[in-house]
Structure 1
Amino acid sequence: MKRRHVLERGIQAVDLFCGAGGLTCGLKKAGVKVRLGVDVDPACQYPYEYNNSAPCLLKDVREIKTAELASHFVADESIRLIAGCAPCQTFSTYNQKADKTDSRWWLLREFLRVVRELNPELVTMENVPGLAEHTVFGEFLGFLHESGYHTAEKIVRCEDYGIPQQRSRLVVMASRLGKIDLLPPSHFRNRTKTVRDALSDLPVLASGGVDKSDPIHQSSELSPLNLKRIRASKPSGTWRDWPNELVAKCHRKKSGKTYPSVYGRMSWDEPAPTITTQFFGFGNGRFGHPEQDRAISLREGAIIQSFPRTYRFVEPNQPIYMKAIGRLVGNAVPVRLGEVIGKSFRHHIDSLQAAPIPTKR
Structure 2
Amino acid sequence: MENLKVIDLFCGAGGASTGLIRAGYDVVGAVDAYQEALDTYRKNLCEGDLTNEFPGSVTFDKPLRADLSQGYDDSGKGENLPEITFEDIRENFELEEGEVDVICGCPPCQNFSSLRDTEPWPDGKPKDGLLRAFVDFIREEVPDVVLFENVSNILNAGEEVPSTYVDWFIRQMKNITRPSDSPQEGGYGYTFKVVNAADYGVPQRRRRTIGIFIYGAEDEEVTIPAPTHARDPEEDSDREPWVEVQDRIFREDLKTDLDLGQKQTGIDGYPDDPAHRSRRHHDSTIEMIEAIREHGGSWKDLRGTNDKDLIKECHQDLSSGARSAYGIMAKDEPAPTLTTRCANVSSGRFTHPTENRAITFREAALLMGFPRDYKLPSVNEHAERVVGNAVPPLLIKKAAEHARSDLQQVKKKEITEAA
2:411 aligned with 1:358: no
Partner of 1:151: 190
Q: Deviations over 1:131-180 (max 9, x none)?
A: 12253322111111233101010101000001111110001000014322
2:216 aligned with 1:181: no
Change over 3 Å in CA distance of 1:328–1:210 after alignment to 2: same
Identity of aligned residues (%): 32
Q: Deviations over 1:86-138 (max 9, x none)?
A: 1132210101267769x981111100111112111111111111112253322
Given that 1:11 and 1:77 are in contact with CA atoms closer than 8 Å, whether structure 2 keeps it comes out as: no
In 2, the alpha carbon distance for the partners of 1:334 and 1:104 equals 25
Q: Secondary structure at the match of 1:339?
A: helix
In 2, the alpha carbon distance for the partners of 1:221 and 1:292 equals 13
Count of paired positions: 347
In 2, the alpha carbon distance for the partners of 1:360 and 1:26 equals 34
Partner of 2:108: 87
In 1, the alpha carbon distance for the partners of 2:273 and 2:379 equals 14
Paired residue type of 1:118: E
In 2, the alpha carbon distance for the partners of 1:52 and 1:338 equals 16
The offset of 1:343, in angstroms, is: 1.0
Aligned partner of 2:329 among 266, 272, 275: 266
Paired residue type of 2:223: D
Aligned partner of 1:324 among 366, 378, 382: 382
The offset of 1:356, in angstroms, is: 8.3
The offset of 1:12, in angstroms, is: 0.7
Aligned partner of 2:241 among 186, 191, 211: 191
Higher helix share: 1
The offset of 1:19, in angstroms, is: 0.4
Gaps of 5+ in 1: 1-7, 315-319
Partner of 1:313: 376
The offset of 1:191, in angstroms, is: 2.8
The offset of 1:73, in angstroms, is: 7.0
Partner of 2:50: none
Q: Secondary structure at the match of 1:47?
A: helix
Given that 1:159 and 1:271 are in contact with CA atoms closer than 8 Å, whether structure 2 keeps it comes out as: yes
- Please say which of residues 194-203 and 274-283 is displaced more in the overlay: 194-203
2:286 aligned with 1:234: no
Superposed, which structure 2 residues align to 1:33-72 within 5 Å?
Answer: 33-53=26-46, 54=60, 55-62=62-69, 63-71=83-91, 72=93
Q: Deviations over 1:171-225 (max 9, x none)?
A: 1000014322121114994430011111111312122221111000012111000
Partner of 1:203: 255
Partner of 2:4: 11
Gaps of 5+ in 2: 47-59, 70-82, 158-162, 177-186, 230-237, 266-271
In 1, the alpha carbon distance for the partners of 2:350 and 2:284 equals 17
The offset of 1:345, in angstroms, is: 2.1
In 1, the alpha carbon distance for the partners of 2:335 and 2:319 equals 23
Partner of 1:245: 309
The offset of 1:50, in angstroms, is: 2.4
Q: Secondary structure at the match of 2:30?
A: strand
Partner of 2:13: 20
RMSD between superposed Cα atoms in Å:
2.5
In 2, the alpha carbon distance for the partners of 1:97 and 1:182 equals 27
Partner of 1:317: none
Given that 1:232 and 1:241 are in contact with CA atoms closer than 8 Å, whether structure 2 keeps it comes out as: no
Given that 2:214 and 2:407 are in contact with CA atoms closer than 8 Å, whether structure 1 keeps it comes out as: no
In 2, the alpha carbon distance for the partners of 1:38 and 1:149 equals 24
Change over 3 Å in CA distance of 1:66–1:360 after alignment to 2: closer
Partner of 1:140: 169
The offset of 1:310, in angstroms, is: 0.4
Aligned partner of 1:128 among 151, 156, 160: 151
**TM-score normalised by length of structure 2:** 0.77
Partner of 2:181: none
Aligned partner of 1:224 among 283, 287, 296: 283
Q: Secondary structure at the match of 1:86?
A: coil
**TM-score normalised by length of structure 1:** 0.89
In 2, the alpha carbon distance for the partners of 1:301 and 1:99 equals 34
Partner of 1:3: none
2:360 aligned with 1:297: yes
